Amino acid sequence: MALTSVDLIALIFVVIALIKLIVLVFNKKGWYNSIAKPVYSNPMLSELFLLIVGAALFYFISQELTVVQIFAAVGLAAVLFAIAFLQYSHEFMTFMREVYDQEFNRIQWLHLIAWLAILAWVFYEILLRL
């Protein structure tokens, strides 16, 4: 049986996640220096790259799933990330206080508008089913 695009995306993610977990177990500093630091040290380039990857992923995933199904999976991922961040609640709260004390910049406004558009799209799709 041939793999679908969603199967291939999941397989690629599994391989990358396994590599990351193995490297983190044996060499946290190596992951930090070779992956995390370069990505977060160059946010403009990283964001552009991730936007392109995200758009491609959305395109291929949307060939097999509806936007509502995709968004439900995003909800699950958000819960899993929230659980993971709870281990660092003190550090995260310090970070959040700094973020909340600042005004939105242009990029943040674009993110906000994009999220609102996605939320409206998902809500619209659900209303069509009623």
Round to whole Å and give the CA distance between 119 and 124. 8
Half-sphere exposure at residue 42, Cβ-oriented, CA atoms within 13 angstroms: 9
Round to whole Å and give the CA distance between 86 and 104. 25
Cβ neighbour number for residue 46 with a 10 Å cutoff: 13
Reported for 76-80, long-range contacts at CB under 8 A and 24+ positions apart, including other chains, are none
- Output the tens digit of pLDDT for each of the chain's 130 residues: 899 999 999 999 999 999 999 999 999 999 999 999 999 999 999 999 999 999 999 999 999 999 999 999 999 999 999 999 999 999 999 999 998 999 999 999 999 999 999 999 999 999 999 9
Predicted pLDDT at 1: 80
